[in-house]
Amino acid sequence: MADLPGGPVPFTLRQSPRARSLRVVIHPERGVVVTVPANRVGRTDGERRAVQFLGERERWVRRHLDRNARVRAELAARGGPRDGGQIRYLGELHRVAVRAAPAGARRSTIERLGDDLGDSLLIRRAPRERRTDAALLEAWLRERARSAIDRAVARHAAAMGVAPGRVTLRDPRSRWGSASRTGSLSLSWRLVLAPPEALETVVVHELAHLRIFGHGPRFWAFVAETRPDHATWRRWLHDHATELHGTLD
């Protein structure tokens, strides 16, 4: 806990052998996380330096904490993954409707519908379904994410002169994608909640790393050859990160 002039701020201290300096992030679930170099400071000294570090950045920290709280309140007001609630899919809000599946149905299904009142996701629950509505939606969304990401990789890899290996879907909290030097890609399934342009931007970003590691001018120029508007969609993901990570809560 950091006792700051504006009041106490809970935080998590993380010691990392790879960290060269102190760093603070506002995690969507864990709140304030301060990372200190593990090999340079002890636990007690790390906590002292973390409190001082937060004090120097108190206005920034509180601004982001307040923003996250507003987003959480907005998500709660939407209702989330339940009948009558709303969640984001492909960048747009969709109403969730839950109905019983026809008698004798062995599997639950989800269908995307649209009408004058807007887009909706219709869940038809099978009689013996044990999964929650949120779990059903996540499984359905992961399938759509798999298809969308595979299409984007296939569309851009050859044109960018790269040949990715395995492409896995995960649910990381601090990044939307990553690329290894062996050619493997890892991407967040939650990208399917964002506009297709944002998903494609992350795919292009990671494919570019198969040619150029690091984020120097040459890397960004290479990304811009395929997605000249990449900064717009990276900003969209940054601004909606808390929302996307909390969509199915």
How many Å apart are CA 106 and CA 15, to the nearest integer? 49
In angstroms, how far apart are the furthest CA atoms of the chain?
65
pLDDT tier for residue 42 given thresholds of 50, 70 and 90: low
CB 202 within 8 A of CB 236: no
pLDDT of 81 reads 96
Residues 147-160 have a mean pLDDT of 96
- pLDDT tens string 75-93: 999 999 999 999 999 999 9
pLDDT of 43 reads 64
E-assigned strand segments in the chain: 2-4, 7-9, 11-16, 23-27, 31-37, 86-89, 92-100, 109-115, 118-125, 167-170, 177-179, 185-188
pLDDT of 45 reads 78
pLDDT of 41 reads 57
Query: CA–CA distance from 122 to each of 97, 110, 113, 119, 172 (Å)?
Result: 5, 5, 7, 10, 27
How many Å apart are CA 148 and CA 142, to the nearest integer? 10
Residue with the larger pLDDT of the pair 59 and 40: 59
- Which residue shows structure tokens 């570019």? 208
Total residues belonging to the chain:
249
- Both structure tokens of 65: 């904490």
| Average pLDDT for the chain | 92
Strand partners, 95: 86, 120
Domains of the chain (ranges, CATH numbers): 2-77 (no CATH), 131-245 (3.30.2010.10)
The single-letter code of the amino acid at 55 is: G
How many Å apart are CA 127 and CA 192, to the nearest integer? 29
SS3 176: coil
Burial of 5 (0-12, 13-18, 19+ CB in 10 A): exposed
Give the angle subtended at the CA of 228 by the CAs of 222 and 230, to the nearest 5°: 90
Residues 174-185 have a mean pLDDT of 93
- pLDDT tens string 111-143: 999 887 789 999 999 999 999 999 999 999 999
pLDDT of 206 reads 98
Give the angle subtended at the CA of 176 by the CAs of 141 and 123, to the nearest 5°: 10
pLDDT tier for residue 40 given thresholds of 50, 70 and 90: low
How many Å apart are CA 19 and CA 238, to the nearest integer? 22
Tell me what percent of the residues of the chain surpass a pLDDT of 90: 67
Examine the pLDDT at 3 and tell me if it is beyond 90.
Answer: no
Q: What is the pTM of this model?
A: 0.84
